Amino acid sequence: MRTALKIVAFVMVAVTLSCGGGGKQYDYSDTPVKGKITISVDESFKPIVDALIQVYESNNDSTKINVEYKPESECIKDLWNDSIRMVISTIKLSDSQMQSVIDSMHVVVNQLPIARDAVAVIANPASKDTLLTMAEIKMILTGTYTQPLVPVVDGLQATSTIRFLMDSVLQGRQLTAKAMGASTSDSVINYVSKNPNAIGFIGVSWIGNQDDAQQLSFLKKVKIVQIESSDKPGKYVLPVQANIYTKRYPMTRDLVYILKEGHRGLGSGFANFMSGEIGQLIFKRAYLMPGRRNFIIRPAETKQ
């Protein structure tokens, strides 16, 4: 757990492998409701993808979706792996990158944002730093904050969370050498719960679902930090659905599937499921923002 974090700079792999001709041939025997496939998923999204697969396989008992959870950079490499049918991460390919996969793999490639996620900030229950601005977040990540807080991230390599912090928050500045990396998101939670000076960065799907028994147990160990709103200076907000939808919570990102399939098979079936009514409801219940359905915000008041 206390392995020093070594940031691996994210580089979109421009592999020129040719999988036609002598390459492995695709198995066309599966259908949207029958067969077996393997997909590659960024580890940050394990809770929600596990839930999606469980429901899909339950509704289609002749299917089996094997999932490999990895750092995001490894998922992107799997786009050139002919045994991987789908990648789920926060990466969206450019037109030229998509064409590179098509030319190399000789399959149809589709991608679609299916939900909006947020990077949640968690603190030890004893911490007094529960309201932070983005400027203070940047100082914590660079080691220049007024308090000796140690940032802890979900992965030892280039996960989507690390890439987001490097690209969208630090924007070229160096991450502090004191930063720590945990092998999994739940390891981040456990580490922060035991170390008062630690502050963690994880996908909100790990702690956002208050109907999930495991996530409720996590919330007893740590507290979620409120971040200054992107539209109202001085107002601090949590990474809840309404704030993710409006991007009032400043650290949001889209969850995207990239499907490479030479026929209408199980990958297509699972993709349609995630973007359809049931899949979008699962995202909603996991407290992510559904990306393919309208979201209505209604004013509400509480009375003492």
User: Comparing 127 with 25, which gets the higher pLDDT?
Assistant: 127
Give the C-alpha separation, 34 to 36, whole Å: 7
Residue 24, class by beta-carbon neighbours within 10 Å (0-12 exposed, 13-18 middle, 19+ buried)? exposed
Tens digits of residue pLDDT in 162-185: 889 999 999 989 999 999 988 888
Residues with Cβ within 8 Å of residue 208, at least 6 apart in sequence: 120, 215, 239, 240, 286, 287, 288
What the chain holds in terms of domains, given with CATH numbers, is 35-116+254-290 (3.40.190.10), 117-246 (3.40.190.10)
pLDDT of residue 295: 53
* Count of C-beta atoms within a 10 Å radius of residue 186: 18
pLDDT of residue 217: 74
Q: Which DSSP symbol is given to 147? A: S
Calculate mean pLDDT across residues 121-131.
93
Could you give the 3-state DSSP secondary structure of residue 271? helix
Tens digits of residue pLDDT in 35-72: 999 999 998 899 899 999 999 999 999 999 999 999 89
CA 54 to chain CA mean position, Å: 18
pLDDT of residue 220: 82
Tell me the backbone φ, ψ of residue 195, rounded to 5 degrees: -130, 105
- This prediction has a pTM of 0.81
Instruction: Give the containing element (helix H, strand E) for 42.
Output: strand 35-42
pLDDT of residue 16: 33
Tell me the backbone φ, ψ of residue 63, rounded to 5 degrees: -115, 155
